[in-house]
Amino acid sequence: MPRLTVLMPVHNAAPYVSRAVKSTLAALPKDSELAILDDASTDETPQVLATITDPRLSLRRESQGLGVAGALQRLMSTTDSEFVGRMDADDVCMPHRFRQQLSAFEGDAPAIVFSSAIHIDRRGLPIGMAAPIPLSREAVPLHLLATNVLVHPTMTGRRAALADVGGYADTIAEDYELWLRLVAHGHSIQQLALPGILYRIHASQTSRDKEWLRASVDDALMESYRHAVAHELGIEVDAVGASESSADGAFASLRAVDRERVRRGILESAQRLSASQARYVARRLGRSA
């Protein structure tokens, strides 16, 4: 049984997938594997993947599209490592990433660890980066109540924690909904400051589509958001469904009275953080209002 399995769902990523796979394999420590699911690609992705041979690489193909959440759940069910990592087929893994993340699980460790990311364009040229600020276990839940600040393909976590909450759900914003569910169940999450990947920004990304952003605020997300608010702030709010909201984001989708209660609760809770972390939470909250 490998200690770490990195999950990579792939769909029509022929221009980028070779570099994504090879950079991930180069970064893997001993006792690790890369599990890829080709989710019904119709471009040259299968041919590109066929050229990569490595004993640490396992590859399966689905003829019927499962979607990101379905593909990740399938990969989770067919692997059995202690830790689970994530990579996307259009990103680039940095050499130090998994060594640094696995070292964060020593001692009094969190359940899930993320890294920051350097943003690159479709050609691979840097165009900026997420703020390279470490987010403590106390700060991450407050950020998530304002907006999703975590970059999904930088995740590495304990399989036991992911299994405890049921893994990925069949919902549009499968990453954000899962982070909120982890928070609601009391699992700790931390973000490291050092970038772990080159995160590619390009027009064909689903998450860049405005209609997708609106649709991502669905009933499952709002229900998990409601439970996370109750766990972190002790505040009960209405789980406004997607059909009742046209706003982008869970916080913005709350009814006005609940949004103000949550805003006050986040700011009050942020007072226990360091000054820099508290200011960062406040800025995130302001942008989400």
DSSP letter at 152? G
Candidate from 32-46, 86-100, 172-186, 273-287 with smallest mean pLDDT: 273-287
One-character DSSP codes across 150-174: --GGG-EEEHHHHHHTTSS-SSTTH
Residue 18 has pLDDT above 50, yes or no: yes
Tokens 């990925």: give the residue: 168
Closest C-alpha to 2, from 84, 60, 73:
84
Condensed to tens digits (0 to 9), the pLDDT of residues 82-102 reads: 999 999 999 999 999 999 999
Residue 248: predicted pLDDT: 67
Residue 212 has pLDDT above 50, yes or no: no
Q: Which two tokens stand for residue 42?
A: 């119709």
Residue 132: predicted pLDDT: 67
Q: What is the mean pLDDT of the chain?
A: 91
The pLDDT-based confidence of 242 (bands split at 50, 70, 90) is very low
* Region of residue 234 (phi > 0: left; psi between -120 and 50: alpha; otherwise: beta): left
Report the predicted TM-score, pTM, of the whole model to 2 decimal places: 0.93
Residue 63: predicted pLDDT: 93
Query: CB-based burial of residue 58 (10 Å sphere; 0-12 exposed, 13-18 middle, 19+ buried)?
Result: middle
Report the DSSP pairing between strands 126-129 and 83-86: unpaired
Residue 286: predicted pLDDT: 87
Condensed to tens digits (0 to 9), the pLDDT of residues 256-289 reads: 899 999 999 999 999 999 999 999 999 989 887 6
Contact assessment for residue 183 and residue 229, using Cβ atoms and an 8 Å cutoff: no
What's the full length of the chain, in residues? 289
State the average pLDDT over residues 189-194.
95
Residues 6+ apart with CB under 8 A from 46: 38, 61
CA 21 to chain centre: 18
Residue 49 has pLDDT above 60, yes or no: yes
Residue 51 has pLDDT above 80, yes or no: yes
Rounded Cα distance between 34 and 54, Å, is 10
Condensed to tens digits (0 to 9), the pLDDT of residues 60-69 reads: 999 999 999 9
